[in-house]
Structure 1
């Protein structure tokens, strides 16, 4: 009886942790506030949502498989403020699969608040891993976006991508915009963009990737600025 009671109590604690993880993200609470158990449960939740959603878009399952490996890395390692890196890596890994995307940088708005950000677009839809893990002093604005859907809530995001605050990009984002990927990588401390690309390519089941290979194939890639009413994307 004692074992059954303990097992039941553990099930209750896990269920409560699941609910805290769910509601924390529905209220845009920082991912860093989740415990390891809550993070695991959170990833299970978004995995189901993303996998279901992937069935309705072209190349969806391949995109989701890559997206989720990157998301797990970001959440499990508290990879905060890594939008410029993760967006570029997602762009490259999808390109390795023959899936075209647009690597973007610009301002994102939530109400009257704005921040500089990088993401990718596929057929006009936003795919954004890093949005769920802002900088330590950054604004928690929601969960990862997969085809415009906030995977934390299961609904369309309220963020506006490509808006203009009137202040322009900050110095860091401007450098990102002005640089191709090889120049951007040279400005980073190790581990840099190419290191992350090789690590994630390996996690996706490809063990033959090299730093030089990614450098050669994608070093000249530049981001597209999203900064006008014409190309603003409201999701």
Structure 2
């Protein structure tokens, strides 16, 4: 919560806008269901929902998957998005306006070894996002999927369970994406004219061609 409050203070100081923060475990479906009713009046009519909570845990081969980790990934990456969308989309339908932005991954576009569960969750998210767009096609609600490639955030630190050296190695030798790059994609999608719906954005680092296809400076020198 201290990190949320620090960000709130920064946003309020920089942009002179009110900010409301909530600490919530998105896997707690009961709390998610109650969230819309618990928001202050000034924040009750949610127009933009960005489902950004997600994680990968480990790089186990399929025969070595930790089931507890698998359940955590499925609940966080898929179930919580379904619950959050259901919690807020009814109000959007009633007002006939809104935008749902789901942060997916290149892992939702291709699968790779060592990512069987994570890739499965992001493929599921891609299907859910597309189906949501079909369900809402008769409304003015837009649905967008944004799929980042290698973005240097806390993602790899979480994936390697706090191993900073392993996390740093993921991004070594090239210039990765940043959280600000992906936020810029969200801003772009949400500020198009009302008749324009950005369905999918796949964004990669310049030296990245696929999930694992990354040109690194050291590898180039060795050639």
TM-score bin, normalised by smaller chain: under 0.3
TM-score (normalised: structure 2): 0.27
Q: Which of the pair is proportionally richer in strand?
A: 1
TM-score (norm 1): 0.26
